[in-house]
Each structure stands twice: as structure tokens, then as C-alpha cells.
Amino acid sequence: MTDSRHALIIANDQYADPGLKKLRAPTQDALALERVLHDPQIGDFEVEVIHNASADLMRRRIQGFFNDRSRADTLLLHFSCHGLKGESGELYFAASDTEPPLLAATAVASQFVRSCMSSTRAGRTALFLDCCYGGAFSRGSSSVRASGEVNVLESFAKDEPASGRGWAVITASDSMEYAFEGNELAENSAAQPSVFTHAVVEGLETGEADLDGDGDVTVEELYEYVYEHVQEQNPHQTPKKVAELRGELHLAHSRRGRIKIVAIPSPPSLRAAVNSDDVLTRQGAVLELRKRLRHAELPMAEGARQHLEQVARDDIQQIADLASEALDEIHLAPFPDHLDFGLVPRGSSPRRQTVTMQGPPLARHCVAQPGQSWLRVDPTQSGLEVHVDTAAEGHLSGDIVLKGVADESVIHVEAMVGPAHEPARHTEREPGPAKDSARPAQVPHDGQDTVVVEPPRIPPQPRTPPRPPAQPMRTDRPAPARRALGLAGAALALAATAVGTLIWAVQAAVAAVRERSHEGVQGNVEDNIHNHGALPPLIVCLITAAVALVAGALARHDVEARREHHTRQTAGGTQTLTSIAKGLAIPALILAVLLGLAYLLAKPHW
């Protein structure tokens, strides 16, 4: 996030007046909220926390927080304290030195906060109120009384901020409701965040508040998420919201946000086939959806994916398994999934390492989110290019999280940064799962923006040979793509040989038959056939045609079984070569068999 973002958290849980009940949640609220708002990969706010401040200090910090801002700024003010209602019905926020009979002098009036919000030049402002209104005080206290409803939001809707500026107020509860701390308002229990703030922190930290999955959490999405979760915990507490927004107020990034593609729905005829009562028709429809899933046009492929997921959920086991097998093709498959830069000198620039995204275009379309600040990721035509920042010495270990339309994957990265004077000794490790893969993922403290990996519309033609993977490939074993093309080429050559030898055998047989016709009753067709050499080319034709068909079948099977290793050109070329070979070999084989049978049948009688 490039805009200037600032947050002020006011948390008061200790009060000098004995009539104000001590609150347990504000300290935990401040710690949890500060962590998630400050995280550069989530909130990216500059956060200031005021704990158990006096009313005068609160007013100074609040006014200073809203002053000297620009329209590019986003501000968030959070209160976690008691809310009190004065004699005139106005809402006050309790400070550590608040005296309930002297609210105007010893507490912070909502009118003051509203005035600061109205006068700021900040383009976007959010106010969170996690306060206990009216009823959250020591029972029997003579100094604190609840005198009717508080109507919290009305206190902030009276004077709207200046025109053109976006603002929103979200409160944990309204009127005379409690803002619950945990499950109950008991005096003796372990400190924990309040129900409201816990939902805010959880929604931002896990990314679950990103309801539309676009990678950003807006104030509207956060409110919907918080409302649902607070109501689940306590139906008697109802969060409320009032806002005046032009556009959206983005509060945080979402770690769980995946790529969203506007899908092109399947054609009506295909949808009808999927819903057919005939099992074979539905099976054919799934095969057609599988072809669309591999399409280079991502919206079409995404439409097929969504349709296949529906089939996998709702159809009979046989068809559901077929749909699930098709969906397996679009799982993220980075290669390698473990990078080790070895020992590199501090301040040096270690060589970049390449990660190839395998599979059809939809499986290669993802976002890459580095989990640590020293990780650098750049997109390439075939996947990612990774390098590390060697500014600090020590062992570096982190993850790059890849998020696609269907699932997530992790690339583990390690490096050892040594003193600057030491030469770099690069070591390579066999790709595989990280040794510490069972360790919980580190919470990033810094990072860079998400990198989007787009699959190329046309398969890449690298200008230079690609770097070899970490594990050297055996030179005596061809790559799958070359192997399939080689088999297809061999099938075509064998089929052409079969056709040539068939023509040779036919010419020799015709000559033998003519010679036999001139010999009359003294002749023998078997001798004529042998004399003209018709049998050897016929046998060669039978063998080469059969082998051509086998080689073509192996080539097509290799393409189907290892589709992720083949580009569109190699798969199409293999299909073309095997089709031509099949068209030549089958007629040659049939004619050779017929000639052989004719010879065997005629030999005893002619």
C-alpha cells in the first residue's frame, strides 16, 4: 500500500474513580490490534498506542492525530474503554482520571472527536469504538448511573465530515448493550481481547474478512465479518456502522486472497449434457470440460473449473471421480519447491534462481507473496525468478506463498549470508520439501507487494538456454517432450517404410502372377513369388506398420500422462505426426494381411 496510513489506539483499563469498573480487555486489544495493523503485509499502518492516559493527554493526542494530514492519508482511531452518558445525553469516553460527576472536564466528549474528524484533511477516516456503554460499571455504585439509551452512532452522524472525504464509524454495540469481554463480564478471569476486537484482529490476520477474495479488506467487508462473528459469540451484542464513502475504504491486504477470474460459463449444450440422465452423455461432457480446462483463455478455463467442481460435488461417484481427476491438473506445481542459495558474502548479489510453473495455463496463473523482507520475486514468462537481499549476515530461511484459483503452494528458500570478505561458495540441494516444513510459518514483519504470475499466451521462446535445475538431469534420458516427439517421428518414419515396402511387395507379386500365367499348367506360383522376392517386403511391411502403430500409441499416451511437461506446440506436433502415421500404417497393414492371405490360399491350387 503506497498511501500514508496512520492508526491511533486508545486503551484504558485502569480508572482512579472506584465507580468505574476495571476492564480486562483493553491491554490485550491494544497489543493484538497494533500487531495486525502494523504488519506491512496486512494493515501497513504506522501505529501509536496510548494506554491509561488522562483526559487532557487523550485530547492532545487525538487532535494531533487528525491535524496536518493530506487527502492521500488513511486514518484509523480505535477506542477501547468505558463509554459514559452525560446529563445532556452526550456520549463521553472515559480516561484514567475521569470523574463521572465532572464528565465535561475529565472525559473526552464524542463532540470533540467528531469535530476533529470533520476538520481533518485526510481522505479516509475510520473510527472503531469498542466501549462498554452504560451497563459495564460496578453495580451499586453511587457515582455512575445509566440514564437511558446511549445511541452511539447518532453521536457521530449529526455532523458529517467535509464533503468528498470518506469516513466510517463501527461500534461494538449500541444503546444499552454490553461490549462483552470474553464470554462474560466477570471480575476474576484471564485477560483476553474483547469479542469485538478479537473478531477485527482475526478477520484481518487470517484474511477471512476479505469476503470477495480480491486480496483487499474494505471497511464494508470487515463490518460484515465482525457482525457475523460477534453475533455468533453473543446474540445480545450487536455491532453497528454508519459511513459516508465515495468508493471503497481499504483497511488491509488479505493473505488468503486468491486470484479471481471472471469466468465464461459453459455453453448451454454442454450444461445440458452435464445434466443429462444418461451416464455416458455426462461422462462425455466431463471430458469436454476437461479440454476447456486446459484452454489458454483463462476465463474459459475458469468457467470449466467451476463447472467441474459442481460435478465433483453433486454427481455419482464414477462421474465425480472423473471430474476430480480433471481438477487435479490445475493444482499449483512449482519446480523446484525448495531453493538453497548456499553461502553468499554479505552485500553481494547472488545469482537468481528460476522456478518454473508447470501445468496448463490456469495452473500457472497465480500470485506470489514473499513471507520475509529479504526475499525478492520477479515474474518471468515461465514462472518466477527469486533472489535474496544479503544486507545482513546470518541464516536466512523463509517461504514464498503461491496462491492460484484453486489452491496454494509454498516455495521454501534458504541462504547463509557470511562476512563480506569471504568468497561465495554456492551449494545446491536436491529439490524437495523443506526439512523444517512442519514448523509453523513465520509471521512476516516486512515484505513487498504481491507478484502476479501470468501464463504466456504463446509458450515462451527463451533467448538463452534455460538454467538447469538444482539436480542435474541425466543425459541418457530424454525429456518427456522430446521423447514424445521422437516416438511420433519414429512412428511416421515406420509408417512410410511400411507403405514403401507394401508397394514393393505388390509390384513383385504382380510380376510373379504374370509370369505364372505364361507358364500354363507346368508353373507354380510359389516359385514365382520366391523368384521375384515378393515375400520379404511383405513381411517387412507387416512388421513396420505394426511397430508404427505401437510407437504412435506410446507417443499419444506420453502426452496425455505428462501433459504438464508439454507445450501446446509439442503436444500439437505429436498429435499431428501420430495421426499421419496412423493414417498410413493402418491401410498398409490391412493390405499386407490381405495379400498374405491371398498367397496362402492360392499357393496349393495354382
What pLDDT, in 10s, does the model give residues 400-430?
Answer: 988 888 788 899 999 998 887 544 444 444 4
User: Which whole-number Å values give the CA distances from 251 to 119, 126, 210, in the listed order?
Assistant: 21, 9, 10
Residues 16-45 have a mean pLDDT of: 83
In a domain, 17, yes or no: yes
Domain count, the chain: 4
Q: Distance between CA 555 and CA 571 in Å, rounded? A: 10
Measure the N-to-C terminal CA separation of the chain; round to a whole number of Å: 93
In a domain, 130, yes or no: yes
Where residue 113 falls among pLDDT bands split at 50, 70, 90? Answer: very high
Tell me the residue range of the domain where 286 lies: 268-330
Where residue 440 falls among pLDDT bands split at 50, 70, 90? Answer: very low
pLDDT of residue 520: 64
> Do 286 and 373 lie in a common domain?
no
The winner for highest mean pLDDT among 170-174, 177-181, 357-361, 479-483 is 357-361
What are the pLDDT digits (tens) for 559-577? 777 765 666 667 777 778 8
> Do 490 and 579 lie in a common domain?
yes
Residues 14-35 have a mean pLDDT of: 82
- Going by C-alpha positions, the residue among 364, 346, 466, 355 that lies closest to residue 413 is 355
In a domain, 226, yes or no: yes
What are the pLDDT digits (tens) for 518-538? 766 666 777 777 777 888 888
> Do 176 and 37 lie in a common domain?
yes
pLDDT of residue 148: 45
In a domain, 420, yes or no: yes
What value does the mean pLDDT of the chain take? 78
445: which DSSP letter? S
Where residue 255 falls among pLDDT bands split at 50, 70, 90? Answer: low
Where residue 253 falls among pLDDT bands split at 50, 70, 90? Answer: confident
In a domain, 470, yes or no: no
pLDDT of residue 393: 85
Inform me whether the pLDDT recorded for 257 exceeds 80: no
Output 45 or 372, whichever has higher pLDDT: 45
CATH number reported for the structural domain that contains residue 410 in this entry: 2.60.40.10
Q: Which long-range CB contacts under 8 A does 474-483 form with residues at least 24 apart?
A: 479/565, 480/558, 480/562, 480/565, 480/566, 481/565, 481/566, 481/567, 481/570, 483/558
> Do 354 and 280 lie in a common domain?
no
| pTM passes above 0.85 | no
In a domain, 541, yes or no: yes
Helix (H), strand (E) at residue 498:
helix 480-519
> Do 380 and 354 lie in a common domain?
yes
pLDDT of residue 452: 67
Residues 356-362 have a mean pLDDT of: 91
> Do 199 and 86 lie in a common domain?
yes
| 403, 405, 408, 410: CA torsion to nearest 10 | -40
Q: Is 436 buried (19+), middle (13-18) or exposed (0-12) by CB count in 10 A?
A: exposed
Where residue 182 falls among pLDDT bands split at 50, 70, 90? Answer: very low
Q: What angle do CA 589, 590, 592 make, to 5 degrees?
A: 65
The winner for highest mean pLDDT among 254-268, 324-338, 426-440, 450-464 is 324-338
> Do 280 and 340 lie in a common domain?
no
Output 176 or 596, whichever has higher pLDDT: 596
Output 213 or 470, whichever has higher pLDDT: 213
| Domain stop point among 227, 253, 279 | 253
In a domain, 258, yes or no: no
Residues 51-61 have a mean pLDDT of: 95
**30-39, 344-353, 436-445: segment of lowest average pLDDT:** 436-445
| 203, 207, 208, 212: CA torsion to nearest 10 | 120
Write out the three cell numbers for 548: 508404427
pLDDT of residue 472: 42
> Do 300 and 403 lie in a common domain?
no
Output 343 or 253, whichever has higher pLDDT: 343
Bond before 336 cis per omega within 30 degrees = yes
Q: Distance between CA 449 and CA 215 in Å, rounded? A: 11
**56-60, 227-231, 516-520: segment of lowest average pLDDT:** 516-520
What are the pLDDT digits (tens) for 380-400? 888 899 988 888 888 999 999
| Domain stop point among 198, 220, 253 | 253
> Do 106 and 199 lie in a common domain?
yes
In a domain, 24, yes or no: yes
pLDDT of residue 348: 84
> Do 60 and 209 lie in a common domain?
yes
Where residue 468 falls among pLDDT bands split at 50, 70, 90? Answer: very low
Where residue 438 falls among pLDDT bands split at 50, 70, 90? Answer: very low
Residues 486-510 have a mean pLDDT of: 87
Residues 537-547 have a mean pLDDT of: 89
CATH number reported for the structural domain that contains residue 184 in this entry: 3.40.50.1460
> Do 186 and 245 lie in a common domain?
yes
Kindly state the percentage of the chain with pLDDT values over 90: 26
Where residue 126 falls among pLDDT bands split at 50, 70, 90? Answer: very high
- Going by C-alpha positions, the residue among 512, 510, 505, 508 that lies closest to residue 540 is 505
Output 426 or 259, whichever has higher pLDDT: 259
> Do 312 and 428 lie in a common domain?
no
